Chains A and B, each alone.
Chain A
């Protein structure tokens, strides 16, 4: 292809038979299968691809790696648009669309490149020193301008159309890194038969250079006990060898295939881990070391060798001492002219780089102080290697500075369950890496077979010998040159910024990082930290080791939120809990409401009815004829055993010793600190058999609590608890005709008032042989029964009630009507709000004085027994048509609206069709002493006028309990 002016032949990864079209900033190009976007752009002669974060300086491709700091692009369009992707990691596909980012209006003419002129002011921390006055201006003026200028790429704002998956994976040995060290370690360890998983972030194994290891890779791939996960990046090492990894399943395609996720998160649990994460080549600090055309030496070599791309025509190599033989040879073969090798260990340095959007020349300064300028379009930089210690550092390991290696190495090369090898362990030659990796593999195999006896002497000895013989030249920055020596390329942190920070007293490496923002870019310091530390070392006169590194945190490389969420998104966030009546409610046109994870029936509108009209109709049906309501969401616990009664006496504040068989009782459960925890009913089904219900909201926590009471507090008690919540469907049948309807569906049971008085409980069969439990309990305040049948019969029960109750005008009602009914009756519900005591709720008399129970002693603390506390009362507005909200506050008439006179708040409110008035329940300071007082309900949040209301008993309806006993 004629456009690929810098394409060479023979790139190992490139398939020149398969040209692929792509666009960058709207311009069309062609690359080949096997290219990355970066290599394809370079092949097409595009070297200026991005702008930096702060100064908007022109930038090019700097690395051949995932931690590319410069060449970040926006990939794809529409809802799949994705910002900040390193072009070096984008596998080219046909039709790829990418654009540059953080520039306006275009990459070449970027208005904010004016920031470069302001660079003398925009130094580290300049914003701490200005924009302070006047105070309001920060939020209104300064900050919006800064915010717009900052950021990198742009999100589409559209819903991510792709899907993500999660999977669990267990193995015996996890090998992280598929370079030659990882390959060899995995191959050797797998021979012992252990389940081995090898994870590699690139599409193929081999790392920097795997020539000669094709056979090894093939053998590894053929082993049945080895699983290889390419395009998978281990991002975090969590406790007990739990690893988080993300597989880029289809990022290399234009769109994921049918039923294919875009990415898959792996949660890997392993017994042992071999870390072969390799090392990252580092740059050097010199003036204008950020210009497009300045590139890591290993990257230049790999672009030529692997991708068949000529990153420049005339190169200068700047090295801290490495001979760069491989690069020199590769360039020679590729016909790239090597203008100079600048070897800092021989006293020569680059003083400056000329050119703005592309390198034009470099100025060198020799040991004699003489300078010369050399024309070139490529500067290859080789500053040494940083072992990829990030995963180890996540575990709290502080990396150790090695003077010989001139690098931070793992503090511990091995632990009980991990081994480091390859260049991560500091090894500098491929032969060393391979030899040590094989040794490591054998060691891991030995540990797998007989864990106790592994001997690490040889493992350590090898590394110590390698370190002893290493002698890297300590060189990080040119001593000469101007102010634009970049340490953090993406964030535009310069050598001068680090010096300024230390001068201003920011002396800890963490302070300098935070003050200058070095190491906080998308590469998380993989390129910059070492140079920041070197600069600090000079400024502070401390050794590299004394300065130390900042902490590395997960993820190793950025991970998409979508992958971390997997399938748990939108409606699939968590399972929806449905009662056995759900389908029936749906058919009846019932409306559902979210209640925790449950979908409960809220109300059953008839055609043309509003919610309020439906609720009113449902309430009146229960009051005047008969209604029924799904109560299957209540928690249900089966309790059995000789000590069951004694146990109930411990967990409830009221007594259960004398509850007869066949009777239900209301129970109130406290926390040990005396605050009400939950309420429900307890029914004695047999001598040693009880059935407990809890509120829907607390069903799980009550179960955990009483299991704690049993297993931990009173383990000697001989009882057994079982959660039977899902086993039973429950329906409350309420209203004057409730008994008549019940009798029809339970013809074999005597449900008369004599046989089944208030609070009686019976087991029997209904509906032609369905086992059922009937309880004569009432939340609504009506003659009522709760009917429980095995969950699978729930729907049949609802249908039978509807059918048999038809002539009585039976009406299903939802939780809204249920709430109105209980407010009218004065049953507490939302008043159990984790703030109230039994006494606050008007239930103080339930607290037994004859026994020990959870919450008894601490209930007696002065603050909980204080007569000044807020107590439950009813509220009746003087004008019955005046409504008020739950959450409105209570003030004495005429009192100032101030916290001192805040007398409480409304906990429940409703229009009562029965009473023809708005009513409410409130927690009011000294409420019980204030019956008859007219107070004001205030709701300034809604700008409402105060509603004058009388404090009344909260038992609005049938306070004598005649209905429930009828």
Chain B
């Protein structure tokens, strides 16, 4: 598998680490416990389109959002989570 890193270009799998589902969002402070349990533990685990977090650990270090199909491994979109252009 090769992930087209927006900063470094297409690079091989071994340069990246995987974190998991990127669609879960951290609840607001004070949100009920169920929301936190759901955020940390529960996953849709889809067979097909999956939006996920990867980090280009052996490259630029960016956390990436990768749209990848879990049945074919086809990657359709990759973006920095925090566009580096925004950094001051």
Contact = CB atoms under 8 A, between A and B. Distances in A.
* Touch test A–B (CB under 8 Å): yes
B25 to A, nearest CB: 9
B43 interface: no
Interface stretch (A341-349, A430-438, A705-713, A939-947): A705-713
A534 B86 CA distance: 64
B55 A704 contact: yes
A718 B19 contact: no
For B2, B39, B80, the residue with the greatest tally of chain A CB atoms inside 10 Å of its CB is B2
Contacts of A700: 57
B73 A239 contact: yes
A119 interface: no
B61 A713 contact: no
A357 interface: no
Interface in B38-88: 39-40, 53, 55, 57, 61-63, 73, 75, 80-82, 86-88
A852 B1 contact: no
Interface in A488-513: none
B80 to A, nearest CB: 8
A803 interface: no
Given A242-B1, A707-B55, A712 B12 contact: no
Interface string A687-722: 000000000000010001001101111010010100
A480 interface: no
A242 B37 CA distance: 39
A242 B40 contact: no
A379 B21 CA distance: 61
Contact of B55 (A267, A673, A708): A708
A708 B63 CA distance: 7
B81 A715 contact: yes
Contacts of B61: 707
Interface of B is mostly: mixed
A864 to B, nearest CB: 12
A858 B36 contact: yes
Contacts of B12: 242, 267, 269
Interface string B1-44: 11000000010110001010000001101010100110110000
A672 interface: yes
Contacts of A713: 26
A929 to B, nearest CB: 27
A718 B87 CA distance: 8
Contacts of A340: none
A562 to B, nearest CB: 20
Nearest to B29: A852
A240 interface: yes
Contacts of A715: 81-82, 86
Contacts of A708: 19, 53, 55, 63
Contacts of B2: 239-240, 242, 269
A718 B88 contact: yes
B76 to A, nearest CB: 12
Contact of A860 (B33, B62, B73): B33
A469 B75 CA distance: 40
A708 B37 CA distance: 19
A857 B1 contact: no
Nearest to B35: A857
Contact of A712 (B40, B53, B57, B87): B53
Contacts of A131: none
B50 to A, nearest CB: 14
Contacts of B29: 852
A672 B40 contact: yes
Interface in A706-750: 707-708, 710-713, 715, 718, 720
B1 A239 contact: yes
Nearest to A715: B82
Contacts of B53: 708, 712
Contact of B33 (A704, A710, A861): A861
Given A269-B2, A704-B17, A711 B82 contact: yes
A835 interface: no
A898 B13 CA distance: 47
B40 A704 contact: no
A720 B1 contact: no
A142 interface: no
A238 interface: yes
Contacts of B88: 718
Contacts of B75: 240
A791 to B, nearest CB: 20
Nearest to A718: B88
Contacts of B82: 710-712, 715
Contacts of A858: 33, 36-37, 40
Nearest to B22: A712
A861 B41 CA distance: 14
Interface in A664-694: 672-673
B33 A712 contact: no
A861 B75 CA distance: 38
A239 B3 CA distance: 10
Contact of B57 (A269, A672, A704, A852): A704
A711 B1 CA distance: 24
A916 B2 CA distance: 59
Contacts of B13: 239
Contact of A707 (B10, B63, B73): B63
Nearest to A852: B29
Contacts of B87: 720
Contacts of A711: 62-63, 80-82
Contacts of B33: 857-858, 860-861
Contacts of B1: 238-240, 242
Interface in A835-893: 852, 857-858, 860-861
A411 to B, nearest CB: 15
A834 to B, nearest CB: 15
Contacts of A704: 17, 55, 57
A388 B5 CA distance: 35
For A238, A700, A857, A861, the residue with the greatest tally of chain B CB atoms inside 10 Å of its CB is A857
A650 to B, nearest CB: 10
Contact of A857 (B36, B55, B86): B36
A960 B87 CA distance: 46
A584 B75 CA distance: 49
Nearest to B31: A857
Nearest to A267: B12
A713 B40 CA distance: 13
A700 B73 CA distance: 27
B3 to A, nearest CB: 9
B75 to A, nearest CB: 8
Nearest to B62: A711
A269 B88 CA distance: 36
Contacts of B31: 857
For A267, A269, A715, A861, the residue with the greatest tally of chain B CB atoms inside 10 Å of its CB is A715
A673 B40 contact: yes
B77 to A, nearest CB: 15
Contacts of A269: 2, 12
A712 B63 contact: yes
Contacts of B27: 857
B52 to A, nearest CB: 12
The 6 nearest A-B residue pairs measured at CB: A852-B29, A715-B82, A239-B1, A240-B2, A711-B82, A711-B63
Given A242-B12, A715-B86, A858-B33, 17 more contacts: A239-B1, A240-B1, A269-B2, A269-B12, A700-B57, A704-B55, A707-B61, A708-B19, A708-B53, A708-B55, A711-B62, A711-B81, A711-B82, A713-B26, A715-B81, A857-B33, A858-B37
30 contacts: A239-B73, A240-B2, A240-B10, A240-B73, A242-B2, A242-B12, A267-B12, A269-B2, A269-B12, A672-B26, A672-B39, A672-B40, A704-B17, A704-B55, A707-B55, A707-B61, A707-B63, A708-B63, A711-B62, A712-B53, A712-B82, A713-B26, A715-B82, A718-B88, A857-B27, A857-B31, A857-B33, A857-B36, A858-B33, A860-B33
Interface of B: 1-2, 10, 12-13, 17, 19, 26-27, 29, 31, 33, 36-37, 39-40, 53, 55, 57, 61-63, 73, 75, 80-82, 86-88
